[in-house]
Amino acid sequence: MDLWMTEWQTQHLGMSVRIKETLFSGRSSFQEIAVVESEPFGRMLVLDGVFQTSLFDEFIYHEMMAHVSLSTHPNPKRILIIGGGDGGTAREVLRHPSVEKVEMIEIDGMVVDVCKEFLPEISAALIADSARLEVKIGDGIQHMSQAENEYDVIIVDCSDPIGPGEGLFTKAFYRDVYRALKADGLFVQQTESPFYHQELIRRLWLDVDDLFPVARMYLAYIPLYPGGMHSFTMGSKKTDPLEADLRPLPFRTKYFNESIYRSCFALPNFVQELLTAKTK
């Protein structure tokens, strides 16, 4: 049988992938979870019909979440990941020798269990059960409201701004992130497509820029995500990534390197204009 799965990016645009096999399909208290074996992307995690990660290109997203932020901080030791239930960001963060402790707060325990079973390449750090990694099942928004001066780097590896992820894109949340960071701390969040989420990007940029002394956006090119071009927003209390001294990474990466770090903050005019435009 010829099986296809479509993620609708707008009412008029969808990306369809040919499916070889559905490996898991179930419903948690938060969302529909599926793991499929696809022709173009290999194994994929799908939440509520939205493609989250794939074996084909996950290295781009996870390296750009972890290595851009950790390379910007002068000495990252205490890291918090919000979301990130597939474990890919934790895997990359733990490769940094300076990191002493990583906390990961994922709202949906079923995502963690399913990824450990069906996506071991991505969830390797969760399976390895490192003493440096503590996985908590809970709401990142609630956790954030109670933390103060604790973290060097906070990585918000969230799903789309609907359902449990909605509150992760609000000014109240960014205020809590600011308070939870140490004096030279910084945070990064995946902030969707500059083509298809313009209102969201404009709004969250104004919030982050208002709260943090340094606000920067950077881009990476990820075939699985709408339009291919994906944005990440960084708020930093002290270090500006445009002026950071880069430490060479003592491990191999597939996407990230010094030239990528130096160039990923360069924004096309239409993205720059999005950030400077006033909200309605």
Q: How far is the CB of 67 from ligand SAM (least distance, A)?
A: 15
Q: How far is the CB of 267 from ligand SAM (least distance, A)?
A: 19
Nearer to ligand SAM, 52 or 72 (CB): 52
Least distance CB 16 / ligand SAM (angstroms): 17
**Tokens 């969302």 appear where?**
31
CA–CA gap between residue 165 and residue 84 (Å, rounded): 12
| Three-state DSSP state, 132 | coil
Q: Which residue lies nearer to ligand SAM by CB, 33 or 214? A: 33
Q: Tell me which residues are annotated as active site.
A: 157
What is the length of the chain? 280
Instruction: Compute, in degrees rounded to 10, the torsion defined by CA atoms 152, 158, 163, 168.
Output: 30
CB of 270 vs ligand SAM, minimal distance in Å: 21
Nearer to ligand SAM, 231 or 239 (CB): 231
Whose structure tokens read 């300076």? 98
What letter represents residue 176's amino acid?
A: D
Closest CA to 176 of 204, 201, 200, 145: 145
SS3 state at 272: helix
Q: Which of 221, 219, 87, 214 is nearest to 155 (CA)?
A: 87
- Shortest Å distance, C-beta 21 to ligand SAM: 20
Residue closest to ligand SAM when measured from CB atoms: 83
CA distance 58 to 55: 6
| Pick 76 or 83: Cβ nearer ligand SAM | 83
Please name the residues in contact with 192: beta carbons below 8 A apart, sequence gap of 6 or more. 160, 161, 200, 201, 226, 230, 231
87/239 with CB nearer ligand SAM: 87
Angle 126-132-133 from CA coordinates, rounded to 5°: 35
Smallest distance, ligand SAM to C-beta of residue 29, A = 10
Which of 114/214 has CB closer to ligand SAM?
114
Give the binding site for ligand SAM (CB under 6 A): 30, 52-53, 61, 82-86, 105-108, 111, 139-141, 157-159, 164-165, 168, 190
Q: Which phi and psi (to 5°) does residue 186 adopt?
A: -150, 160
- Number of helices and strands (H, E) in the chain? 9, 12
